[in-house]
């Protein structure tokens, strides 16, 4: 445990010294504030709750931005240190390879959690300071957003480690990371939408839709946040999908956990057998 903490603290310190990571945190804060206040401005006229609008806006932002940030800070976690020769130095200490990987994971996850809580929490605080009435179930949905956003970041950190454990150079790792981001964030949903348009409900059952949603962590995250609350789902336009799919929030959270554990376990296995 002590070795894990030391490696995690080392990753946090290196991340905080990286101006790009700090700039990304500030970008997340700025975008969340902008989306929230622009999106919640007309809510007094249309009768929807301001924080529900914020949740819809931030959920969409998270799906695009958090996976990209997670991959960019993790894709060279292993191969980068191997290239620089620092991995051999690190492993010369009495520390196992799995401890190195898990320590790095904890450090990167702490950075992502800090950025998410700071950016999104500041947005909710600013909205509350304006005097906007916020109901208890909206606060609950917002807490779900922050927790699940951290899990989504953890999924893509684990995927980044799996990439980094397999490839031999940073350029290849970066290219694969961007490709995975494009597929899971953009192309996968476009393919599902295209299939739904062509199929017209003839062959795609609710069970098949559930499986398709679970096969993509971003869709699992989207359903957990945008269809898990009645107010948010009606505002996000996903009320119809929420009626078709039968996945419950515990199932969606469990699937996000599986998406974290499987790539992380695979990365640990590959790294333990890798020749340095």
pLDDT in tens, 86-141: 888 888 888 888 999 999 999 999 988 988 888 888 877 877 777 666 777 778 88
Task: Choose among 76, 68, 170: nearest CA to 115.
Answer: 68
User: pLDDT of 117-126, one tens digit each?
Assistant: 888 888 778 7
Beta strands in 34-88 (DSSP E): none
d(CA 3, CA 207): 44
Task: Name the pTM for this structure.
Answer: 0.87
Q: Inter-axis angle of helices 97-129 and 249-273, to 10 degrees?
A: 150
Contacts 24+ apart (CB under 8 A), 190-198: 192/219
* DSSP classification of residue 216: S
d(CA 117, CA 121): 5
Task: Choose among 157, 180, 167: nearest CA to 70.
Answer: 157
């Amino acid at each position: 445990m002590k070795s894990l903490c030391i490696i995690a603290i080392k990753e946090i310190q290196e991340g905080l010294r990286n101006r790009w990571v700090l700039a990304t945190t500030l970008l997340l804060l700025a975008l969340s504030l902008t989306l929230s206040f622009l999106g919640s401005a007309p809510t007094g006229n249309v009768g929807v709750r301001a924080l529900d609008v914020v949740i819809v806006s931030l959920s969409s932002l998270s799906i695009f931005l958090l996976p990209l940030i997670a991959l960019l800070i993790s894709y060279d976690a292993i191969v980068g240190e191997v290239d620089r020769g620092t991995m051999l130095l690190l492993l010369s200490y009495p520390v196992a390879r799995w401890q190195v990987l898990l320590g790095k994971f904890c450090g990167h996850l702490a950075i992502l959690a800090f950025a998410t809580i700071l950016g999104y929490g500041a947005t909710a605080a600013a909205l509350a300071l304006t005097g906007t009435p916020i109901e208890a179930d909206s606060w609950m949905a917002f807490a779900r957003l922050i927790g699940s956003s951290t899990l989504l970041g953890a999924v893509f950190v684990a995927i980044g480690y799996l990439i980094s454990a397999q490839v031999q150079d940073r350029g290849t790792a970066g290219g694969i990371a961007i490709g995975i981001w494009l597929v899971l964030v953009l192309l996968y949903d476009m393919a599902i939408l295209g299939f739904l348009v062509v199929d017209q409900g003839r062959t795609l059952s609710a069970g098949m839709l559930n499986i398709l949603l679970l096969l993509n962590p971003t869709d699992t995250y989207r359903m957990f946040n945008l269809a898990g609350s009645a107010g948010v789902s009606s505002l996000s336009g996903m009320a119809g999908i929420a009626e078709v799919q039968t996945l419950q929030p515990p199932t969606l959270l469990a699937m996000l956990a599986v998406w974290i554990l499987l790539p992380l376990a695979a990365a640990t296995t590959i790294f333990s057998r890798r020749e340095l």
